[in-house]
Amino acid sequence: MLNLRVILPFVLTGTIWGSTWFVITGQIDGVPAAWSVFYRFALATPALFLVAFLMKRRLLLNRPEHRLAVLVGLFQFSGNFLFVYHAELYVTSGIVALMFGLMMVPNAMLGRFFLGERVPTGFMLGSCVAIVGVSSLLFHEWNANPDAGVIGGNVGLGIALAMLGILSASVANVIQANPTGRAVPMVSLLAWAMLYGTIFDLGFAWLTAGPPPVPTETAYWGGIVYLALIGSVITFPLHYNLVREIGAGKTAYNAILTISVAMVISTVFEGYRWTGLTVGGMALAVLGMVIALRSKQVR
């Protein structure tokens, strides 16, 4: 974890992703969430293929590698983001980011099942503490009025959608780290996965939201560019390389930094209100993640 090639992408992805949660709120204000997901990856996909080409990574995949790319695309670039964008219609962005800190649990469980990664007692203890902390924040969110930061009225639906997004992202994290995925240059696998996910996003958006809207606001398209190029093309290769370097369980802990950045932004720009319950919950959530992170056997 102290290796510079681990620390730099760890901090960079956490900081950038911490900011993207709030940027997403500007993408779902008056524009169907499904179309915003499609626009994001329609821009990011050719950029990622260009990155792979400039890095001289092979772009031709064999059949098993394409099958893996399809699965990663469906779980990561479709399911995960569709669930997240729709979740933020009902729950503040910082809380959704905080919930994603719990991705350490399915990451570790799936990593054990599919990759044989160990799950020590310290990890489970820390996870339980973190779950209690996040549950406290969700309880507060559930009881908050709209002025306390809830965008829509159905917080329960938002929580459920966020949980589905967590599970979807966790599946993508783990399956790409199998032997087939490790044999493919990371940026190439992600480029193809993003392409397949984008195709699905297009079909889903058209079926559920009708013909594509064309927003005219500069801020909207600025957000698309930021999410596509900075929040996707730069960060996803770094993130998945971390999964390969230190394991899916430990990689999930850049959520500590992501959460901190997201909650600060949510407090400043979304008017999130802190109480004794939320401060205590946040402290428990971070403490639990640190306890689990210190369990060095998690791979």
**Domain annotation covers residue 298:** no
**For residue range 246-272, what is the model confidence (pLDDT) as tens digits?**
776 677 677 778 888 888 888 888 777
**Structural domain harbouring 189:** 4-293
Residue 104 included in any domain: yes
Q: Which tokens belong to 93?
A: 């962005």
**Residue 133 lies inside a defined structural domain of this protein:** yes
Q: What is the pLDDT of residues 136-157, one digit of tens each?
A: 877 776 776 444 344 445 888 8
Question: What confidence tens digit (pLDDT) does each residue in 159-192 have?
Answer: 899 999 999 998 998 888 788 888 898 889 999 9
- The answer to whether position 88 is within a domain reads yes
* Inside any domain, residue 19: yes
In this structure, what is the dihedral angle of CA atoms 124, 140, 26, 213, given to the nearest 10 degrees? Answer: 90
Task: Look up residue 88 and give its amino acid.
Answer: E
Q: Would residue 299 count as lying in a domain?
A: no
Q: Is residue 149 part of a domain?
A: yes
End-to-end CA separation in angstroms for the chain: 11
Give yes or no for a contact between 172 and 37, defined as CB atoms under 8 angstroms apart: no
Domain count, the chain: 1
CA distance 102 to 130: 7
pLDDT computed for residue 145 by the predictor: 47
Q: Against a cut of 0.85, is the pTM above it?
A: no
* CA 189 – CA 238 distance, rounded (Å): 13
CA–CA gap between residue 103 and residue 238 (Å, rounded): 18
